[in-house]
């Protein structure tokens, strides 16, 4: 696992030794901004005449020797690569390449990739790779730069125009060192962030900078001409799977799924550095650990964290699973002060606004794990692949209920509700004869209006929206938002199954831009490599061929995963209501974080940059403080934006300052001094 960066100058002019030195110094500064991703080695490669510079920071996992140094040249000298990730079938590819006459200096997967590109071409190589990766490849003969990202978007790459350069990097902070960096906020990206609590691909929070979407590559010529396309398409996989479902019985499905997951887990256990696994005690991580333990010749190292607050502590469940599987288990209980001390670091870890509050325990889990191992396997992806989220059931229930009402009547009722003001709805509700209906809130009726008028897309989008209407002034109004799989009808693939559509939407948006972003930044902040076996593309392709009853049956989510896990762990150890991996942000905002939040949510601070509309934000803040309703999710989304504006890339061009826990002033936090 590593960090990559670099740039291609589009009008380099007459290059000389001074130009080469300046380019190398700039690329080196970019690499320094990624030092946390790769503390073991640094490299810079420059061709001033071509205007290209590649930079790299290395976290040594496979082949710990200097033979793994990057940027790396192919043996023929034509290609240069800077690469981040792990390819788990590298040994097989290497054997094939050696049979074709390629010779290797070491045995790291970077060398396999660059030699494969030289032998088969870039796209043919991408189709052969099994793993997680992002890379920049320079073709010295054709003077052509290629950026590529793995199929599911496990590893990141940002790219775009910065002055007279096409620049790219694993994280935005590396781009911010470039001389012409402007850091202008993209209003459309901000609106989408406030709706979903993350910035969806291909947007970034900055104008002119994109995230390369999963399964995509872009080729950039020396004159700046770009050509991009998908070498792997989730839409094609979903359509093909739903069109050709497997006709197998339960026993055969269990056997088939266990075999493909076991193969993926075993491949991800290859490492020259110490390895372990996250264990929450839930279905996904427990299955990964069970299959790791079966493949290992000694107890697997497992890690979990616990919280004293009721409703947030999964540690006892993880402990029971670890005891049954006989792993070497490490458990760490986190107190409120330790968790809250992470908050000042979040804007610098994530570089752009990011508000999934499980970012806090995720970082702490990575931090504890990194004390013992360099690589950890996780169970991420199981909910998306096997329909594990409760919202799938809620959305489908609403959809079936509304289907009983004739469509013209639904649309008329929805339009009528939408025309009413907040005050008119309040007066109407007070006159209703049913007390339960009198307690209904404006936001709930607004949602009902959306459901009545909207499509399946609108129904599901509402389920995942933090702010139904982002609290922005007109220049960032939602009407200007770009099409996305959750909004524009022409962006929705024609899938015959509504559950399939919801899974598709999550896998295209929420999975790469929230879940995987959270894990990548949290783990890389402490130089920990996290591998996700359930997102092996062969498992993804199999999951789309499994009919719905293998995913949801008899009121149970992830039905087939549960059956496979039952082969290794007694059901009583994992059959329980689903828990989120979170912290009590809502309570903290009324207690120790109140002064910090009040400062960031003051009308003056909210109005500073002219994007946010203070009125709806202040309204929710007052309601939250009075315990009228728990608005922690929309408030946390605004708070993370405000904190990012103050302490992240939104506040300074070179933002990597030491975290200041004193920013979190207020009752209970004055004595907090330990840096996390």
Q: Mind telling me the catalytic residues?
A: 2
Query: At 214, is the secondary structure helix, strand, or coil?
Result: coil
Burial environment of residue 258 by CB neighbours within 10 A (0 to 12, 13 to 18, 19 or more): buried
Token pair, residue 554, equals 């008899």
Return the sign of the alpha-carbon dihedral for residues 25, 30, 44, 226. Answer: negative
Cα of first residue to Cα of last residue in the chain, in angstroms, is: 22
C-beta separation of 562 from 573 below 8 A: no
Q: How far apart are CA 561 and CA 568, in angstroms?
A: 12
Q: In what order do the strands lie in the sheet with 209-211?
A: 41-47, 52-58, 2-9, 165-169, 158-162, 209-211
Between vectors from CA 344 to CA 340 and to CA 347, what angle results, nearest 5°?
A: 125
Produce one character per residue of 320-350: b if its CB has 16 or more CB atoms within 10 Å, e if not: bbbebbebebbbbebebbbbbbbbbbbbbbb
Rg over alpha carbons for the chain, rounded to the nearest Å, is 25
The phi and psi torsions of 310 (rounded to 5 degrees) equal: -65, 140
Based on the number of CB atoms within 10 Å of its own CB, is 610 exposed (0-12), middle (13-18) or buried (19 or more)? exposed
Taking the mean position of all CA atoms in its chain, how far away is CA 647? 21
Task: Decide: 652 and 321 in contact? Cβ < 8 Å.
Answer: no
Phi, psi of 113 (to 5 degrees): -65, -45
The token duo for 275 is 């390895």
The answer to whether the beta carbons of residues 344 and 663 sit under 8 Å apart is yes
DSSP H stretches of helix in 626-670: 632-647
3-state secondary structure of 283: helix
Whole-angstrom distance, CA of residue 418 vs CA of residue 564: 47
Cα distances (angstroms) measured from residue 121 to each of 79, 117, 137, 141: 11, 4, 11, 13
d(CA 441, CA 658): 43
């Amino acid at each position: 696992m590593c960090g990559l960066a670099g740039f291609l100058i589009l009008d380099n002019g007459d290059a000389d030794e001074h130009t080469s030195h300046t380019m190398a110094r700039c690329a080196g500064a970019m690499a320094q901004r990624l030092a946390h991703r790769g503390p073991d080695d640094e490299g810079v490669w420059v061709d001033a005449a071509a205007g290209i510079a590649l930079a790299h920071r290395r976290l040594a996992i496979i082949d710990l020797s200097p033979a793994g140094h990057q940027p790396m040249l192919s043996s023929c000298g034509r290609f240069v690569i800077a690469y981040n990730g792990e390819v788990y079938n590298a040994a097989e590819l290497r054997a094939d390449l050696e049979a074709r006459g390629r010779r290797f200096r070491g045995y790291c997967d970077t060398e396999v990739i660059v030699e494969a590109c030289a032998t088969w071409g870039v796209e043919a190589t991408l189709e052969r790779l099994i793993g997680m990766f992002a890379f920049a490849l320079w073709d010295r003969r054709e003077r052509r730069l290629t950026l590529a990202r793995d199929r599911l978007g496990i590893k990141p790459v940002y790219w775009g125009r910065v002055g007279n350069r096409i620049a790219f990097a694993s994280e935005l902070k590396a781009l911010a060192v470039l001389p012409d960096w402007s850091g202008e906020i993209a209003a459309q990206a901000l609106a989408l962030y406030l709706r979903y609590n993350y910035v969806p691909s291909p947007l970034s929070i900055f104008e002119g900078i994109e995230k390369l979407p999963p399964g995509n590559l872009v080729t950039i010529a020396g004159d700046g001409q770009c050509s991009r396309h998908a070498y792997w398409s989730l839409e094609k996989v979903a359509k093909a799977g739903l069109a050709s479902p497997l006709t197998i019985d339960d026993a055969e499905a269990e056997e088939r799924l266990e075999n493909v997951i076991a193969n993926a887990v075993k491949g991800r256990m290859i490492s020259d550095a110490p390895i372990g696994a996250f264990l929450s005690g839930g279905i996904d991580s427990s299955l990964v650990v069970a299959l790791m333990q079966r493949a290992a010749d000694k107890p697997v190292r497992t890690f979990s964290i616990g919280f004293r607050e009721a409703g947030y502590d999964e540690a006892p469940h993880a402990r029971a699973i670890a005891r049954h599987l006989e792993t070497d288990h490490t458990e760490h209980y986190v107190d409120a002060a330790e968790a809250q001390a992470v908050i000042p670091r979040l804007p610098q870890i994530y570089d752009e606004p990011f508000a999934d509050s499980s970012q806090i325990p995720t970082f702490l889990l990575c931090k504890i794990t990194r004390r013992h191992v360099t690589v950890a396997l996780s169970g991420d992806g199981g909910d998306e692949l096997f329909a594990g989220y409760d919202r799938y059931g809620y959305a489908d229930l609403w959809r079936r209920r509304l289907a009983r009402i004739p469509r013209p009547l639904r649309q008329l009722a929805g339009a009528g509700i939408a025309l009413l003001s907040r005050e008119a709805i309040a007066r109407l509700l007070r006159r209703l004869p049913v007390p339960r209906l009198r307690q209904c809130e404006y936001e709930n009726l607004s949602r009902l209006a959306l459901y009545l008028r909207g499509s399946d897309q609108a129904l599901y989008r509402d389920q995942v929206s933090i702010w139904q209407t982002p609290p922005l002034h007109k220049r960032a109004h939602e009407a200007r938002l770009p099409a996305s799989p959750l909004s524009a009808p022409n962006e929705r693939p024609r899938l015959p199954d509504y559950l399939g559509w919801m899974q598709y939407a999550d896998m295209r948006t929420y999975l790469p831009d929230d879940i995987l972003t959270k894990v990548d930044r949290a783990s890389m902040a402490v130089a920990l490599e996290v591998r996700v076996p359930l997102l092996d593309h062969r498992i993804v392709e199999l999951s789309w061929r499994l009919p719905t009853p293998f995913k949801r049956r008899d009121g149970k989510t992830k039905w087939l995963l549960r059956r496979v896990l039952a082969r290794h762990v007694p059901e009583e150890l994992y059959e329980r209501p689903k828990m989120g991996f979170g912290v009590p942000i809502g309570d903290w905002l009324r207690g120790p974080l109140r002064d910090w939040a009040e400062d960031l949510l003051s009308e003056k601070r909210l109005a500073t940059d002219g994007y946010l509309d203070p009125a709806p934000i202040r309204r929710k803040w007052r309601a939250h403080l009075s315990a009228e309703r728990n608005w922690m999710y929309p408030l946390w989304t605004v708070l993370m934006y405000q904190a990012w504006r103050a302490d992240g890339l939104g506040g300074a061009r070179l933002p990597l300052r030491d975290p200041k826990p004193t920013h979190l002033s207020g009752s209970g936090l004055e004595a907090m001094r330990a840096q996390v």
